[in-house]
Structures are given as structure tokens and as C-alpha cells.
Structure 1
Amino acid sequence: MEGPEGGAAVSAVGFGVRGPRGWVFRGVDIDAAPGSLVAVEGPSGSGRTCLLLALTGRMRSAEGTATVAGSRLPKQLSAVRRVSALAHVPGVTDLDPALTVAEHIRERALLQRRFDGSLRGLLRGVLRPRSARRAEARHRTDAALAAAGLDLDALPKGPRTAVRDLERVEALRLSLALALAGEPLVIAVDDTDLKLADTERAEVWAQLRAVAAAGTTVVAVCSRAPDDADVVVSTAPARPTAVTATPTPTDKEAADALAEAGRA
């Protein structure tokens, strides 16, 4: 179900993913309205990233069901992938440290124009004047950067700043902007508070809250959920709330699951 601002409802009942060595997570129940900020809380290695990948159609579930924007998982993986995006997911959306911010943005715009949308939309785009296509691309890029809170002029070398020279929060904002450029209904963000100071953590959550308030449903992994999250699920086995993961996956299982996501 789509919300009035373009977000999507996300729900799950008894949702689980099984890897080669056992359950990565299982028993997940979620009920999030369109435009919600959903915090997936738990320690590293408890299946948090795999839950994000499964909810966005990048990983096939083994039990239970989930519904994203009206499409059911695991049967409609491709439909869910079309309306969702990933940001800041290690091993899946890694930024190239040698490329500049501007190069990442240009690359994303090219991929967006070539692979996103319907065939009819692509044909319409080809027939439109080049100036109109460029203006639309700039508008979408500017809107995504604003939504992610990334000010290019404030970077050390502006758009020519290399990714390796970005602060941790700036890199997260860039990854978020690249994902938002596709105008997804749902965006999944990994490691939102990894190695961040309290002030930085508060800054990131405020930005994600703004993204959700603008209509995009946000599902974000964290070690500690913010007080203002609309929905909190936990993958910590010692404190099962909305999510129970048994057993905690090993590093090998997590690597296998990420490899499977890359093939999806």
C-alpha cells in the first residue's frame, strides 16, 4: 500500500532467512505504516543486514511472509526491488574510495537513466530533448542531495572531494543520496550509528527522520534505536521483542548470505 506522500507500508509475519549453516534470523513480525522510521536494533552478527536485504527483495526468505508496497515476499522479489533501495550496506553498496563525490553522482545518474523505469518510460526519455533530460537529472540529483543533507560546497574540495577524504557521516549521506536518487518508496540503511559520536548519531537519525517525514519509508540498522523511531524491532537473541533471531549467525553465514544477495 502506498502512502499519500509516496511511501510504502512494510509488514512481516514470522519472517525468516535460512543460510547454509542454519537460521540467519527468524520469527520477524513488523507492522510499519507508509512513511515510518523503522529501527532494526541489535548487535553485529545478529542478522540485521540480512533482514534489510530480505525486506528489499535482495535475499529470498525461507519462512513466513512479508509485504512491501503491496507486493508479497518471497514470491514478488523483483516487484519489491523496483520500489526499494539500499544505502550504506557493506559488501553491497560500497563507495569507491578513489572516485570523487561528483563521479559517484554522475555514475548513479547514468545507471538511473539506463536501467530504471519501464521500457515505455525509457523510450519517452530518448525522444525528449537532451536539455530536458539533463534538467530533470539535475533536479533529481539536487533533491536527493538535499534529502540526504549533503552540502557539496561544504566538502573539503567540493564535488571533487574523493570518497576516501570524506568523514564517516558525509560518506553515509552520500550513500543515502545515491539511493534516494531513484525515488524509492522504501529505503534500507545499514550501520547508521557505527563508530559515530553521540552528536553525529543524533544528526544522522534526524536526517533519516526527515526522509521518513517526507514520505519515504526508512528501515535502518543500528546498535541502539532512537527514542523517536516509529517502529523498533530487535535482532538481539537475549532480548526478543518484535524480532527473534536464533541462533546468531556466524561470520561465515553472514558472508554466504551477502553473496546470495549479490546474486539476487
Structure 2
Amino acid sequence: MDSPHGAAVKAENFGVKGPRGWAFRGIGLDAAPGSLIAVEGPSGGGRTCLLLALTGRMKPTEGHAEIGRHRLPKKMAAVRRIAALGPVPGVNDLDQSLTVAEQLREGALLQRHYGAPIRSLLRPRAERRAAASARIEAALDAAGLDLATLPKAERTSVRDLERLEAVRLSVAIALLGSPRLLALDDLDLKLSDTERTEVWALLRSIAARGTTVLAVCSEAPADAVVLRTGPQADDGEPDAKPTSPAAGTPKITWGKGTKDDAEAGKGAEADTGKDPETGAEKEADAEQAADAEDGTGEGAGPANDTDTDTDTDDTKGADDALAEAGRA
């Protein structure tokens, strides 16, 4: 896995409105690359809509944001290519019918098809296999998931994973593409206090390696850059006000929510980046051509796969990594 480099996350007067009102609005943020950003607020307060909007999966209604050098809403496809989703219930749930090994192989193949640059197709097969194996091993290590500790190692069914293990697996799959921004929803759902401490330690370690992390939670840690969403009081201010931050503590930013936020985001224009019929990644042609021309590779969409051995190579590489991890 290539060394990740985080994306700066900036937003100004950022908001999403659905048929039933504002999911969130008035968001302002300026976070440096490699930041740990926590979106804090009550369930139904627009937190998930904000996460999806900042990762290019939901079109904002007002204001703008910049993820790396890509400006939203114009560059939604480009943002999707550099922002990976960890666990987001209802959007990218793990397949409960698969084993851990199968889920990892599927993630590696999807990343290969829709996330790998075109130049990777030109590498020798042995090199591609080695790269796939190294990518899975590095992702598992970064996510803190030791397959040998699972009941049946890599053959453990996803449905049998504990909640924290499932979070780590989702994070590992997201990290396979070396994203510049990693986003997670409902981070503290069904976790004990000890497990919450563990998962925040995991996210700090990922951010320390350079990847910007955006996590939705009920209660943010003191060292995070905090965004808060939720309902407002009648005077237009949030129902509760943050305490004054101590010296050196990141500024807390409040978003302007509504009393009906639980329903407000329903029907807002969401874009998962997949074609509804084929499941393939949708790309903006002009954007893709511009990115390819400037040589960054970020705008390069999935190429037509003319190498019939590639899937087999990546699968073998994934198998090698899983076998090695299972023996650890």
C-alpha cells in the first residue's frame, strides 16, 4: 500500500436541504491534512448527510467545500476517488454471507477495477500479485485486525464478528486504496467504553500516518477537530452551547440543524458513485480528462480491463496475504 497523504478539508456555509427541510446548514471547517475530524451530535441531526456530502456522495444545496484540491459540488466524482468509506450503515454494509477472506478479496478486486491507476495494468503479473498481497497485509496492519485471533482465522464468517472486529475489517477494506480521506459513520454504535477508546486510538494512528479521518460519533474526543450538528433553539442558536475550548484545543464548529433533522435528509440528492444498473463507478468525463492531462492520476477512471489474468493475479495475491496473516 502506498504511503497515504491526507486531504485538507475545508467548508464554508455548507448545507444540504431535503424535501422536509435542512439536514444541516451553515457548516464551516478548515482542517489540515492528517487531521482527526469528529462530527458530533444526536442521531437524526444530519451527521450522516454531512459525512456523505463531504465525501462526494451527496450533493450540497448551499455553500461549498474543498477536499484536497477538489471543490464541491463541482468535483464530486474526483472527491469520491480520494475519499473512502469505512463502516457506513445502509451504504456499504459488510456482506454477512461471506467469510473475512472473501470480503477482503472482494474489496481488493473492486479497488483494482475502480481505484487503481491505468499504469498499474502495465506491470508484470508477478509484481501485481506481490503488490496485492502487500496492500492487504498493510491494510490489515493499519486497521489492527489480526486474522489469527479470529475464531476460524480468515475463514471466520462476517456475521460472527464482534462489532469492533467488523469496524476494523471495514477500515482495512477502505484502506486498500490508500485514500486521502477516510470517513466512518456511527463510530460508537454498540461499542463499550473500552472499545470506544480502542477505536479512537486506531483512528489516531491512521491520522498520524497522514490520512485525514472523518468520523461521526455521539461524543467526540478532546483532541479532535469537532463539528457539531443538531437542532436549534428558537433564537437560532444550538440548543446547547459548547464550553470555551482550552488553550491549544481545536475550535468547535456548530452547524445549523432543524427540529425535524431525522426526516429532513430523506430524499436529498445522494450519489454513491455507482451506476444503479451495472454497479460500476460513475465518472465525470471532462473532469477525468483534465486530471489525466495534468498527470496526477487522481482523475483517471476505471479502464477497460483487457488483461484476463489480472483478476486471477489479484485474487492469488490476496490469498497469499490472507494465508500469511492466518499463520501469524
Same fold (TM over 0.5): yes
1:235 aligns with 2:246: no
1:260 aligns with 2:254: no
Give the superposition deviation at 1:59. Answer: 0.6
Find runs of 4+ consecutive structure 1 residues off by over 6 angstroms: none
1:239 maps to amino acid: A
Give the superposition deviation at 1:251. Answer: 4.5
Partner residue, 2:255: 244
CA distance, structure 1, for counterparts of residue 29 and residue 7 of structure 2: 13
State the secondary structure of the residue aligned to 2:183.
strand
Give the superposition deviation at 1:249. Answer: 4.2
Equivalent pair of 2:22/2:265 in contact (CA under 8 Å): no
Equivalent pair of 2:87/2:184 in contact (CA under 8 Å): yes
1:143 maps to amino acid: A
Of the two, which has the highest radius of gyration? 2
Deviates more, 1:108-117 or 1:12-21: 108-117
Give the superposition deviation at 1:253. Answer: 3.9
Equivalent pair of 1:12/1:66 in contact (CA under 8 Å): yes
Partner residue, 1:105: 104
Distance 1:255 1:21, change over 3 A: closer
Give the superposition deviation at 1:89. Answer: 0.4
Give the superposition deviation at 1:9. Answer: 0.5
Percent identity between the aligned chains?
Answer: 59
Equivalent pair of 1:85/1:186 in contact (CA under 8 Å): yes
Give the superposition deviation at 1:21. Answer: 1.3
Q: Tell me, which stretches of 5 or more residues in structure 1 are unaligned?
A: none
- CA offsets per residue over residues 30-69 of structure 1, 9 Å max, x none? 1110000001000110010110100010110010111100
Give the superposition deviation at 1:70. Answer: 1.3
State the secondary structure of the residue aligned to 1:262.
coil
State the secondary structure of the residue aligned to 1:172.
helix
Give the superposition deviation at 1:245. Answer: 3.2
Partner residue, 1:91: 90
Distance 1:111 1:5, change over 3 A: closer
State the secondary structure of the residue aligned to 1:53.
helix
Distance 1:176 1:5, change over 3 A: closer
* TM-score normalised to structure 2 length: 0.74
Q: Tell me, which stretches of 5 or more residues in structure 2 are unaligned?
A: 232-238, 242-251, 275-328
Equivalent pair of 2:77/2:273 in contact (CA under 8 Å): no
Equivalent pair of 2:39/2:215 in contact (CA under 8 Å): yes
Equivalent pair of 1:47/1:249 in contact (CA under 8 Å): no
Give the superposition deviation at 1:263. Answer: 6.4
Equivalent pair of 2:21/2:265 in contact (CA under 8 Å): no
Equivalent pair of 2:230/2:258 in contact (CA under 8 Å): no
Count how many residue pairs are aligned between Structure 1 and Structure 2.
Answer: 255
CA distance, structure 1, for counterparts of residue 273 and residue 213 of structure 2: 24
1:247 maps to amino acid: T
Partner residue, 1:41: 40
1:142 aligns with 2:137: yes
Equivalent pair of 1:10/1:32 in contact (CA under 8 Å): yes
2:267 maps to amino acid: D
1:62 aligns with 2:33: no
2:272 maps to amino acid: G
What's the C-alpha RMSD, in Å, of the aligned pairs? Answer: 1.8
CA distance, structure 2, for counterparts of residue 189 and residue 32 of structure 1: 17
Distance 1:155 1:218, change over 3 A: same
- CA offsets per residue over residues 112-150 of structure 1, 9 Å max, x none? 1112134x32xx42x322221111011111111111111
Partner residue, 1:201: 196
CA distance, structure 2, for counterparts of residue 139 and residue 248 of structure 1: 48
